[in-house]
Structures are given as C-alpha cells and as structure tokens.
Amino acid sequence: MIADPLAIIRAAHFAATLLASGSVFFTALAAGSDRSPLNAAVLRVRMNALVWIGLVLSILTGAMWVVWLASNILGESLADVCLHGGAWSVLADTRFGWICCLRLALAVLLGLLMLAPARRAWSIAAAAAFLALPALASHAGATPGPRGGVHVVSDAAHLLSAGAWLGALPAFVLLLWSARQRQKPGWYDFATKVTYRFSWLATASVGVLIATGIVNSWYLLGGPRDLWTTDYGRLIGFKIILLAAMIAIAAVNKFHLTPRLPARAALRSLQRNSLAEIGIGLGVLILVGYLGRMEPTAHVHPATTAIPPDAAFTHIHALEAMADVTINPGRTGHSVITIRVSREDFTTFAAKDVRLILDPPAGSGASVDTTAERQPNGTWTIEGVALVQPGIWTVRVIVIAQSGETIVLDAPIVIER
C-alpha cells in the first residue's frame, strides 16, 4: 500500500482541485469585497494564476487517474490502455468516467470565467460544482438508499469546507507575501481586513468540516473500535490528528496573531504558520488518497463462496438486497454466470425470478438478456453465456421478490481477453 501510485495521483488531484476552487472562494468571499488593491493588475493576475495552475494540474492528474485506473481494472499496461481504448472504456462506461467528463467541462468554464471578474457568482458556482462532484464517485456515492443521499450531501459539504479553508490558504499566503513586498500602509490595511474576513470563513469551514467528518465516519466505520483495530480506521485516526494540528495553528493565527495586525512581525508569522498549515494539509490529502483505495470497514462484504481464480466477480449492494455475481471464466468466450441474492445479514433472499442483463462496452455489440435458473443451494445460474468483447461490461440483476416487487442491482464488471 505504501507505494501505491494511484493513491498518490488521487492525492495530487484533490490538492490541485482544492487549490483551484479555494482560490476562487478566497478571492470572491474574503478579498473581493475590498477592491482598491485587488484591482491592481499584479495581484489580480497572481490570484488568477493560482486558479489556472490548479485547473491545469487537476486536468493532468485527472487524466493520469483515469489511465492508471483503466490499467488496474483491465490488467493492461499504461500504453495499451491509451492506444487501444481502455481509458475510453472507463470514461464512457462508468459513473466515475461521466463525472470526470463533466468536471473537465467545468474546469474549462471556470478557467474562462476568471477572465471576467464581474461574473463572481458564476465563478463561485462553477468552483463549488467542480469541487463537490467527486462525492458522487466516492465511497459516499456507493452507499445505497436514502442513507446514500445523506452521505453524498455530507461528503460534498466536507469537500466544499476543505476548499474554503485548506484550498484558500495558498491564496491567503500569496496576499500576505504581496503586502509584505509592497510595504505600503494601504496594503497592510487591506491585508488586515482580508485576514479578519478569511478568519471567519475558515472558522465556519472548520465547523462544517468537523461535523461532516463525524457523519462520514459514521457511515464508513463499523464502530469507534475500528480506529485502532483496522488499517482503514488507523488512517482515519491519523487524519484526525493532523487535522487537530491544523486547527491548533489556525487558532493561534486567529486569537494571537490576527489581533496584532497590521504589524509586520504578525504578517510574517501569519505567513509562516499558514505555510505550515498547507504542509500538514498535504499530509491529510495523501491519507485521503490512500483511504480512497481501501474498503471502508463498514462496507466490507466477504464473498459468500470461493471465487475461482479465473473468474470475474462483483458484489452489488442495494438497500433492498445484495447480489454476488460470478462469471467463470471472466474472459471472452462462453461462460457460466452464478448469482447469489441475499439480504443485508447474508441470508438468502426469497426471489421468485432473477433476470440478468449484461451490457457490453459502449458501441461494441448487443446486450445479453436472459433468465437465470434457480439451483437447490439457493443460487441462480446461467449456462453458456457468450461474451464477445473484452472491457468493462455493466451487469444488471433484476430480482422479482415473492411480493412482486422488482429490485434492480447494477455494477461494472471487467471481462478480459
């Protein structure tokens, strides 16, 4: 896990996203209400540059994320997934890919909006959407039912509050540095006013961050004991420690240094402490990158039967039922599909009928639509299913309950060559 490149790419992508959106929030909400120095071309260009740098890095790291993820899913080299369309399959056939495409469009829009300072409300909205959309493709997005909606909203609010605090710190440091470089009373007064406004924005963000962090942990952890008994919980515990260190530094900034402004020594100390916050925040983002690659302890569902080494397997979880789908062998050709439908406690779900639909990668052929046969052991099987195309397929299990209720469970599954 220590040398997981995808975790580092994820961390870099979130850092770039926070930089872009946080710089927009800072400029519009903390610095934008006092326009005298901000209208100076140098500072305006510097603030815009932070946004554009964040957007460019977000696009580059996002592309790396897609390519590396496609390589992991398909078991192919990075060159192969780029040259033979594997990366396109991830973009076209998964919710993660659709969200990436939408965020790319938002990145371009936000970059253009920075050329029109009067469109401040549009810039804030675009930055907020760009920052919050990953919640739909996170562990929160995989939580079924109404609980999933609450979890997604909480995760989105968590991202927005992180952007308004951690993501805005580079812009705040840049402003303090500019004021110290100019060495003019007008700039010192301006920096003081902005610091007070940013202090209240950061305080509100920290409150939301703590509240949503508690909500998210409730959904992701099986209980408080997981914080010291599981790898996932220990990483969350370490993240909490780093966050506490950031809050301690922020408290010193707010209650000790800010009242001493506009003294140059206070400006220098604020800049130094804010850089320390950024450094610790990068450590938090690295942990976030690794956490996204691990299964939350509250979401772990072991396979109910042994999975053949050559098989493709997916676990689909919905509020009403769960399904384990095994395609053996998990490659092109004729395969046997086994479906086990169960309840949350892993007892067999009493289904009247089970139907399976397999949708191939986009534009590569017809779907497979067939009815499964019930077996004496409670599973449902389909013999001789022809899989003609490798790539990311979408499996849909349509379960008809004894009550007549229809339950649809769907998930991607990888078929190899």
Looking at residue 238, its pLDDT comes to: 94
Identify whether residues 286 and 364 lie together within a single domain.
no
Token pair, residue 138, equals 């996170």
**Do the domain assignments include residue 333?**
yes
pLDDT digits 0-9 by tens, 128-174 = 999 999 988 776 555 555 666 788 899 999 999 999 999 999 999 99
- Better-scored residue on pLDDT, 241 or 360: 241
Identify whether residues 268 and 318 lie together within a single domain.
no
Identify whether residues 183 and 260 lie together within a single domain.
yes
**Do the domain assignments include residue 284?**
yes
CATH number at residue 384: 2.60.40.1930
Identify whether residues 351 and 285 lie together within a single domain.
no
- Better-scored residue on pLDDT, 395 or 35: 395
Looking at residue 139, its pLDDT comes to: 65
**Do the domain assignments include residue 65?**
yes
**Do the domain assignments include residue 378?**
yes
Q: What is the mean pLDDT of residues 195-211?
A: 93
**Do the domain assignments include residue 28?**
yes
CA angle 250, 254, 255 (to 5 degrees): 120
Identify whether residues 224 and 126 lie together within a single domain.
yes
Identify whether residues 218 and 353 lie together within a single domain.
no
**Do the domain assignments include residue 120?**
yes
Identify whether residues 63 and 210 lie together within a single domain.
yes
Identify whether residues 237 and 316 lie together within a single domain.
no
41: confidence class by pLDDT, cuts 50, 70, 90: low
The residue range of the domain holding 218 is 5-291
Identify whether residues 280 and 325 lie together within a single domain.
no
Looking at residue 227, its pLDDT comes to: 85
304: confidence class by pLDDT, cuts 50, 70, 90: low
Q: What is the mean pLDDT of residues 309-338?
A: 86
Identify whether residues 242 and 376 lie together within a single domain.
no
Looking at residue 178, its pLDDT comes to: 86
Identify whether residues 244 and 316 lie together within a single domain.
no
Looking at residue 374, its pLDDT comes to: 92
Looking at residue 39, its pLDDT comes to: 46
| Residue at which a domain ends, from 262, 291, 320 | 291
- Better-scored residue on pLDDT, 226 or 352: 352
| Residue at which a domain ends, from 260, 291, 322 | 291
- Split into its structural domains, the chain has a count of 2
Strand-pairing partners, residue 129, are none
pLDDT above 80: residue 328: yes
pLDDT digits 0-9 by tens, 253-303 = 999 999 998 888 899 999 999 999 999 999 999 999 998 887 777 665 555
Looking at residue 319, its pLDDT comes to: 64
State what percent of residues in the chain have pLDDT above 70.
Answer: 90
pLDDT above 80: residue 317: no
pLDDT above 70: residue 320: yes
**Do the domain assignments include residue 306?**
no
Strands 322-328 and 333-342: antiparallel
Average pLDDT, the chain: 85
pLDDT digits 0-9 by tens, 362-396 = 666 778 889 999 998 889 999 988 888 888 888 88
pLDDT above 60: residue 314: yes
Residue 238: CB partners within 8 Å, gap ≥ 6?
A: 287
pLDDT above 70: residue 305: no
| Distance between CA atoms of residues 104 and 269, nearest Å | 37
**Do the domain assignments include residue 154?**
yes
Q: What is the mean pLDDT of residues 180-204?
A: 86
pLDDT above 60: residue 35: no
pLDDT above 70: residue 243: yes
pLDDT above 60: residue 81: yes
Q: Which amino acid is it at 112? A: L
pTM, two decimals, is 0.77
pLDDT digits 0-9 by tens, 88-110 = 877 877 778 889 999 999 999 99
Contact by Cβ (8 Å): 21, 163: yes
| Residue at which a domain ends, from 222, 257, 291 | 291
Identify whether residues 90 and 146 lie together within a single domain.
yes
